Structures are given as C-alpha cells and as structure tokens.
A and B are shown apart, each in its own frame.
Chain A
Amino acid sequence: MSRAAIEMDRRRFLAAGASAGLVVGFHIPFAGTAAAQGSTPEVNAWVVVRPDDTVVVRVARSEMGQGTLTGLAQLVAEELDANWAKVSTEYPTPGQNLARKRVWGNFSTGGSRGIRESHEYVRKGGAAARMMLVQAAANEWKVPVSECRAASSVVTHVPSGRTLGYGHLAPAAGKLEPPANVTLKDPKDWKIAGRRLARLDTADKVTGKQMYGVDLKLPGMLNAAIKDCPVFGGKVKAVNEAAIRNRPGVKKVVRVGDSAVAVVADTWWRAKTALDALPIEWDYGPNVKESSATVAAMLKAGLDAPEAALGNQNGDARAALASASRVIEAVYSYPHQNHATMEPMNATARWTPERCEVWTPTQNGEAALAATSEAAGLPADQCEVYKVLLGGGFGRRGAVHDWVRQAVEIARQMPGTPVKLLWSREEDMLHGRFHPVTQCKLRAGLDAQGNVTALHMRISGQSILASVFPENIKDGKDPVVFQGLNPPGPEASIGYSFPNLLVDHAMRNPPVPPGFWRGVNLNQNTIYLEGFIDEIAAATRQDPLVLRRKLMAGHPKHLAVLDAVAERAGWGRPAPDVNGMKVYRGLAQTMGFGSYVAACAEVSVSNEGELKIHRIVAATDCGHAVNPQQIEAQVEGSFAYGLSAALFGECTLKDGRMEQANFDTYPVVHMRHMPKVETIVMPSGGFWGGVGEPTIAVAAPAVLNAIYAATGKRIRDLPLKHHSLKRA
C-alpha cells in the first residue's frame, strides 16, 4: 500500500482508538488496495464492486513476488467478465476467514499451490458474482435473465440495448441468493486469464511507496532487535542489562523464551547496537560439538543402513542388481541452504490482556494467526494478523512463524505498546529454517547389451516433516522426501521407467532446523537422478538425450518438455563458439508441483577453469498458463535461485552453529552470473501445475551435465565453488 494510504490509516487508527477505544487497528489494511471491511458491501466473499465500477478481488494467498495476486485476480475477473482496467485486489484477514467459517479457504502460499489448488473455487466465486450481477440487472429491468449479457463490468439487455454498470448493480446483487449451480468457462474462451497481462502491483515498487513489514510505523511504536543463541538448542544463561541501560533510546531488555534476548528501543538502529554491546552468557547445550563433518558421517551411515522407508518400487531392484552384468554406482550429496529473503524476518505486534494484533509478511496468514494466539495466550478470535507484502518468501515465511512468536512474546512484556521486531541479516542467516541436507547412493544395473535393468536410489538424510509437521510422518516415512521420484501420477512423478526400481529413504535428522526451501526436495532429487542418468549414458557411450528418450517412452509429458528444449537449443548440432570459447550443453528434466519442466544449459569452461553459463533454454508444461509473461519471470527467477545454490550456496555447521552470517560468506548469483534464459511455456491443458518452484530443480543438473560435457568432470556434491574445473 502507498505511503499516503498508510498515513490515512494511521489517522484512522488514531481516530478508532480515540472514539471507540477498542479493536484498534482492525481497519488497518495492508498489501492490497483497501480494507476488506470497507464501506462498500460485497457481492460475495471474493468480489466487491465500488460505485465507480472498480472491482476489488479478494485474494487469500500471499503475494511475495511470484505474481499470484495478479494471476488469481485474472481468474476471478475472467469469470466475472470484469473490466480489467479497473480491477484491484485486497487481502481478507485470517481472523475474518476464521469468523466466516473459512469462506476464503486455505491461506497457505507454498508448494507453488497459489493457483493450482484454488483456481476452481476462486473462478466459481467470480462466476457466481457475475450471475448475481446479471440477475440484479434483470430484476431492475423486469426482464428474463436469459435476455441479459455481461461484458467488461457492464450488463446489457440485448433486445433493448439498455445497459447497467456493475457498480450500480452491486448493492442489489449482494442481497441475492447465491446461485446453486455455476458453470465455468472453457479456457479456450478466456479473455483475461491466459494473457500476458502486466502485474497489478508494480508501480509502487519503483517509487519507494510500497510498504513492507520493515517499513511499518504505528503510533507510539518501539523497535526491537533480537539475538537467539547461535548454537542450535542452546539457552541464555545470564544477561548483564546494566551494561546498556544508559545507552540512548534503550527502553527495555527482555528475555524471549529460554534461548533469546531482545533489546527494545526508540529506533531499531539503537536497539541493534545496544544488543551488540550487551554481554550475554550462553549455555550452548548438547549440540556444541556438531559440525558438517559429524552430520555427513551420520548421513553416510544411512546410505547402507538396513532400515529405510519405501518411496517407490517396481520389480526387484536388489535381485536385478545382484545379477546384473555391470553395476554403476555413485554417491551424491546436497548441503544446507538459507532462504536469504532480501527482507529479513520481521513482525510488529501489539498485545493487551484482551487482544493481540500482528502485522507481518507471511506466506500463511492462518498459521501466523495460530502462532500469534499461542504466543499471546489468547484465543484466536481475540487475535488478528494483518498480512503485509513479503520482501521474498521462498518457503521461509510459511510453515514456521518463529519470528511472529518472538514479536508477540516481546509485545506481551510491554502491554499496549506496538513493538516492531526486525532481525538483523546475521540473525536471519544463523536462525534460518534450512534446506534439508541429504546424500544419495545410486546404483544402476546393466545387462550385457548395456540396457538399464535396475535402479536403486537410497536417500539418506533430513526430513522436513519430522521437524515441521511430525504428525504427517506415517510409519517412519516422510512422503515429501521422494519428490520427483514418485510412481506415475499427478504429483512429482519420476519420468523414467526401469524394469526394476527401488527408491528408499533412511531418515537421519541433524540438529539443524529444516524448512521448505523453494523447490524443496525436488531440488536435490533431480540433481541426483539427472546427474546419474548422464553417468549411465557416459558409461554406455550413449547420447544423454537418446538414453533419456528410451527410458522416458512411457512418460510423454515429461518427454515433451525435454524434447522441446533439446530442439530449441539445437541438441545434436555443435553449439556456436562464444568469444572463441567452445560451448557445451547439458540436459535435465523433472516433474513437480504439478508441472513438467526441462532445461538445456550451455556453458563454457576456460583453460583456467572459469565457468561461464551462456544460455539456458527452459520449458514448462503447467497444464493451464494463466499469465505467460509471469511464468517466464518465475522460470528466470528459478534459475537465479537454483544457480545461487549450485554455484555458491552452502551453510556449514561448526561448533553447533552455522558459519555463514551474511552475503559475504553466503554469496548468491549476481547480474554477472546470470545466463540468458529462453522460456518455452507449453501448456497442454487438462491440469493445473505450479510455476514458482519446479524449474529450480533443473537449474543445477543441466549445468552440471554441461560441465561434464565440457570437462569430463562429474560433480556430485555442491556448491561448485569447492571444485576446480581446470583441465588436468
């Protein structure tokens, strides 16, 4: 929302506090354009039309850059037959959702689910609103509804040519009974959805007007900086408050749980510098001797452990391997990663014995509300969460709301005073919810002719669910571990057929809190499988595309995206030199988050071992493409994120704590590293896939396979910065 709007809301906040003396802040909206409780009555839960014909679409999912606000609005506006030029959006609050029996459904914004899981009910919301508006016009004209047509926010009585605008009709439409049966449009008739429309939320992002959580300022607000024990599982032993009591602006030093200390001051900079000067004695706890080496040893033991949870199986891979003419074996691994959102974790909380309110960037408003309620010691209907646009999410701001709990615990110790908690980058890096660490042993059996008879993938390592949603672990199995390796089906299915296949997982959980990191387990599983398929191709002297085509014959959607990138890139013909450097290609494909994706990377490696990624051709089949230009943006962004991890990304454990505390030791892809990206959006219809995550998984393996083509070096552990690509 804009600065002017914030200022307006600040005044409303003050007015509400002065006149009513209760529910302060209930009318402060964020990250949309207006309050969900605005004065204009709604047509239904999804649609508000103002007297000036402005259509406000309510979006329950969170915008964090991925474009879901625009995409979901396109779907609603399509069915509504709205005038797109006058469409805006707003967030309903999680508290309202609770009060209205979850009329907006799930608020969770992760797993690339924003559109793929809510497309049907949001479109029905738009279609129902359209039908009610048309009915209202028919009622006003006293004509049969069948004689009325809607288009571009106007209802026309066809026989007479009379027209009425949605803004005029909305109050009467909102009083009608919602239609029992709603028919959705055939996507081939779409006029708003499916188009390369500009985002609805761009203008304020280039003028500094866009408000993020870090920018919030409430009347009387104080600022907090926090330090949690840097060693996982450690606690605060003692704090010498007197050392900073007289520093300028410092108001209070508070304990947060048993492991953290916060300083509250008038400004954040004063809070942060006072915290830096505060002597804190820690009890480092049981994990102080843990390191990346101890974690790696634990995972290595899992590679051959007798007990493992079964992910996918056909035939008898163990027997087939035992009788194979030849066995190829390799061990891969993947390190911890931090999400490193550009905007560090933050939340503003105001607590009184009767009510607690939180303003925060969150990927799941309902989970944030639950965390608020728990930390506040108040029932959920006495709490509210106002979502603010996220300065990046990538999974960090979804499942676990540790920063929200902290903010509420601080505010609880200062009743009535709004407190904004902002993590330093260092805090953000040390207390991430890290990409899980795993290793994988792959064994392929070949017959005398070199045909693949069996594949066994043994994954050993960390389970996200075991830490975040332990109730979803059944019989020791975390089903999310097998993303991209599942049996044929609509989600994360393997794209290859083997006569005998075994994929299993030995769970090994190091003392590092894991989280859903954009792409989740599809990332490393695709590196493992796509790298190893290339290894089989090399060992059997086959072209990597030829081998894949053989193994993928029964998986036409997987194969279609792979064929598309191979054809566009010119696979089979030498790549043109770039600046006198020979260019080599590598392929990768996978399926996850409902979509089929593939990439062909073109790289060169200098004699000194310098890697240059020139171009990546990518293809996505997401079933239905709601906004192709935003899909392209997500695909490009996925390469930046995936290549950051491949080239540089690694959080290493030493003495029980993470060693990387800022971007100087956790480098990421910059402009100079970014390849050209050509994206083929090829929706085949009939299903709805996500686009925010799947492409990340093919970024690293496509590049690693191209590096092998260029150098003969097979990289099985990341990041690449640890490997010399210099020719021997």
Chain B
Amino acid sequence: MAKLNVNGVVREFEAEGDTPLLWVLREQLGLTGTKYGCGIAACGACTVHVDGVPTRSCTRPVSTIGANEKITTIEGLSPDGSHPVQKAWVALDVPQCGYCQSGQVMAAVALLKGNPKPSDADIDTAMGNICRCGTYNRIRAAIHAVARGDLKAAQLSIQHADGSTT
C-alpha cells in the first residue's frame, strides 16, 4: 500500500505508480472535488497544492510524491467553505457551471498566499486556468476583494438570501 498525506490525513491506497495524482485523489481516495479537464496540464481544473505549490495533478505521477509532501485539495481548504477565497467566490457569485472552480479557487489561494495584494498583471500571470463559461472578470474581482478585505468593492450589488448585499 502506498501512502499520501492529503488534507492533513495520511491515506493508504493501491494504484500503479504512474497513475496521475488526480486519479488517485478521485478514484482511490474519493476526493472528487478536483476535476479532470484535459489530462495534459493545460486547463488547470485539476489544480491542488503540493506543499502549498499549485500543481496540476493530472500529469503528476503519484509515485513522485514523497511521504512528507502535504497535499491540499479543495475539500481540505476549509471545513465549511469559510476560507476567504471561498467566501469571496460566494459573495460575488463567481461560478457559472462551476466545473473549473475548484482549480480556480486553489490557484487563487496560492496566488494570494504569496502575493496578498496582486496587481491585474499578477492575476493574469498566476491565473492560467481555463473557464469556458467565462467567469474571468468575476474571478479577478473576487481576488481583488479578498486582497482589499472588502467584498463590496466590486460593486456588483448582489442580494443574498440573508439580506446582505455584496
């Protein structure tokens, strides 16, 4: 049995060593929040963190990940969706179909961790994930909202069921 440290828990699994991390997460460990989009590290839907570094898990053979490397998936970002990036995504209604958003959120979290006040150019560089629905402008607005600590800064005037407006 091979082992992976995922979301703070050491998990055992059986898979061929050349199996991409993505498929071990999805099929052996049941963590389906991380998505398959292209299989060639082009779209970013499979983005997870390996020791904090955003990593496209669809091309990373699971055998190359050491026992001490810590993997964080979308499920491990927060227990209840309370990470500031997740909250901003909800506040600004960023997702449309939502399929790419796990990867987008993971990429944004990594960006903001290393660069708490990213410029538009920083966002362009760091956010290389594909969204076919075209949520890019709301993603940008949500990243800036997190950086400013102000969910109303985007002025989208979205009315939430709890009575708040963002």
Contact = CB atoms under 8 A, between A and B. Distances in A.
A671 B127 contact: yes
A662 interface: yes
Interface in B82-127: 86, 89-90, 93-102, 105, 123-125, 127
Contacts of A644: 132
Contact of B97 (A390, A638, A669): A390
A342 B93 contact: no
Contacts of A248: 16
Contacts of A121: none
A212 B34 CA distance: 11
Interface string B129-157: 11111111111100000000000000011
B2 interface: no
A663 B157 contact: no
A106 interface: no
Interface string A414-453: 0000000010111000000000000000000000000000
Given A269-B23, A671-B123, A638 B132 contact: no
Contact of B75 (A208, A392, A670): A208
Contacts, number: 204
B65 interface: no
B64 interface: no
Contacts of A663: 37-38, 40, 42-43, 130
A668 interface: yes
Contacts of B132: 340-342, 392, 394, 640-641, 644, 668
B138 to A, nearest CB: 7
Contacts of A203: 81, 90
B107 to A, nearest CB: 10
Identify the interface centre among A203, A267, A342: most chain B CB within 10 Å of its CB: A342
Contacts of B54: none
A198 B158 CA distance: 6
A670 to B, nearest CB: 6
B158 A196 contact: yes
Given A394-B132, A671-B140, A215 B32 contact: yes
Interface string A568-585: 000000000000000000
A671 B134 CA distance: 9
Interface string A189-210: 0000001111101111111111
A307 to B, nearest CB: 38
B156 A629 contact: yes
A207 B81 contact: yes
B42 A342 contact: no
A637 interface: yes
Given A637-B133, A671-B139, A208 B157 contact: no
Given A196-B158, A269-B23, A638 B134 contact: yes
Given A195-B159, A205-B101, A425 B137 contact: no
A712 B57 CA distance: 45
B55 interface: no
A205 B128 contact: no
Nearest to B36: A214
A674 interface: yes
Contact of B130 (A268, A630, A668): A668
B33 interface: yes
A668 B134 CA distance: 10
B46 to A, nearest CB: 11
A676 B97 contact: no
Contacts of A392: 97, 99, 132-133
Interface in A61-85: 64-67, 84-85
A341 B38 CA distance: 11
B161 interface: yes
B67 to A, nearest CB: 22
Contacts of B138: 633, 636
Contacts of A204: 98
Interface in A203-253: 203-212, 214-215, 217, 223, 248
A329 interface: no
B30 interface: yes
B39 A424 contact: yes
A625 to B, nearest CB: 14
B81 A206 contact: yes
Contacts of A394: 132
B45 interface: yes
Interface string B12-23: 000110011001
A264 to B, nearest CB: 14
Contacts of A197: 158-161
A664 B42 contact: yes
A222 to B, nearest CB: 12
Contacts of A639: 134
The 7 A-B pairs at the shortest CB distance, nearest first, are namely: A208-B33, A640-B134, A65-B97, A391-B99, A205-B98, A65-B96, A637-B134
Interface of A: 64-67, 84-85, 195-199, 201-212, 214-215, 217, 223, 248, 267-270, 340-344, 389-394, 422, 424-426, 629-630, 632-633, 636-641, 644, 662-664, 668-672, 674, 676-677
23 contacts: A65-B97, A65-B98, A212-B99, A215-B26, A267-B27, A268-B27, A269-B15, A269-B20, A341-B97, A341-B99, A342-B37, A342-B132, A344-B37, A391-B98, A425-B40, A629-B158, A636-B134, A640-B133, A662-B40, A668-B130, A670-B128, A670-B130, A671-B136
